[in-house]
Chain A
Amino acid sequence: MINMKIARYQPEESAEPFEQSFQVPYDASTSVLDALNYIKEDLDPTLSFRWSCRMAICGSCGVMVNGVPKLSCKVFLRDYEQGMLLEPLAHLPIERDLIVDMDAFLKHLEAVKPYLIDAPLESENTAMAHQQTPAQLAKYQQFSNCINCGLCYSACPQFGLNPEFLGPAAITLAHRYNLDSRDQGKAARMPLLNTEEGPWSCTFVGYCSDVCPQQVDPAAAVNQLKVESAKDMLIQLFRGNL
């Protein structure tokens, strides 16, 4: 048995979150998500939490485990025999129990235009239009592995201090599309990225990369984009746009 403390928030019952303890049986393969499902099915059906795939692909089940952002399906009880405290992801408004409001995160993602923006095709042969060499793919591939779990936002003190900061995942995604040889949208993305809410609010704490379950290294992407932003400013200066 493991003593699992869970920070609960029931807005109709109390104005602030409170802790509740549960005794959970486990073996070598019991994940935190398994334990949460056990609690909901056998101990307390009112417990609320998000989950879907159970294999660290969907990015739905992010929680704070002893203060560290993790995917609950990727953490095992066997590593926490001293007990654990589960809390909702930090820096985001709590809706209920372990469920946070991801709106700010999703708005930031949307704001950076995270999709291929095409130049008008010169050729009618569309099958040719999206060809890409392995070297061109290698430039952005690492940054395209993001699963939008939001762990990096909970790890980022700058986002905690200023929720307007676009944050690690959104800036990484912007950089990922800027680096894509098929994309022509850099000019459309840079004006927002050059603002204070862009990469310049990052102070390279680097913890976002530590907690990333996909080894995307958002801190590297954000700071590479600072270099791009500085280059873009110089280009705009020479063009007389500043």
Chain B
Amino acid sequence: MSYRSELTRTWWLKHHAFKAYMLREATVLPLFFLLLSLAMGIYSLWQGQNQWQAWQLIMGHPVVLVVNSIALMASLYHAWTFFQLFPRVMPIRLGEKTLSPKVLIAAQWAGVASVIGLFAWLFRGAL
């Protein structure tokens, strides 16, 4: 008779590769808070000036700023992991040659930098 072992709830604590994976997946938690904050902002805008100003006050609270800073770091970490996986999932072939993963990773970071640059230019002087 064969013996079957069950996967325990703590399976991911057994190896650093699993811990790194769980950390990558957990980046969604602070991002969820950011999305909730933004949804609240849109709702406050719809409710009128007083609500909008109250929302702005909440957004300036140190705890909210800390959580949203964590969300920024988490999304950058997630992007870092994602950008490394991307060339493996969608290798790009030009003729007989496959584009180097380093080029694809650099191109994705260039994309991030240009989006940040675009928003910095759009909101220049507003902050």
Contacting pair B88 A223 (CB below 8 A) = yes
Q: Report the minimal beta-carbon distance from A143 to chain B, rounded to whole angstroms.
A: 12
Please report which residues of chain A, range 165-220, place their CB below 8 angstroms from some CB of chain B when the two chains form the complex. 203-207, 210, 217, 219-220
Chain B residues within 8 Å of A223, by CB: 85, 88-89
Contacting pair B1 A11 (CB below 8 A) = yes
Q: Report the minimal beta-carbon distance from B78 to chain A, rounded to whole angstroms.
A: 12
Question: Which of B5, B14, B18, B91 gathers the greatest number of chain A CB atoms within 10 Å?
Answer: B5
Contacting pair A93 B2 (CB below 8 A) = yes
Contacting pair B12 A227 (CB below 8 A) = no
Q: Report the minimal beta-carbon distance from A20 to chain B, rounded to whole angstroms.
A: 16
Binding site for B on A (CB under 8 A): 9, 11, 15-17, 67-68, 90-91, 93-95, 101, 134-135, 138, 157, 160-161, 203-207, 210, 217, 219-220, 223-224, 226-227
Contacting pair A210 B3 (CB below 8 A) = no
Q: Is B15 an interface residue (CB 8 A)?
A: yes
Flag B74-118 by CB within 8 Å of A: 1 or 0 each. Answer: 000000000001001111000010100000000000000000000
Knowing A220-B89, A227-B89, say if A206 contacts B2 (CB, 8 Å).
Answer: no
Please report which residues of chain B, range 1-42, place their CB below 8 angstroms from some CB of chain A when the two chains form the complex. 1-5, 7, 11-12, 14-15, 17-18, 21, 25
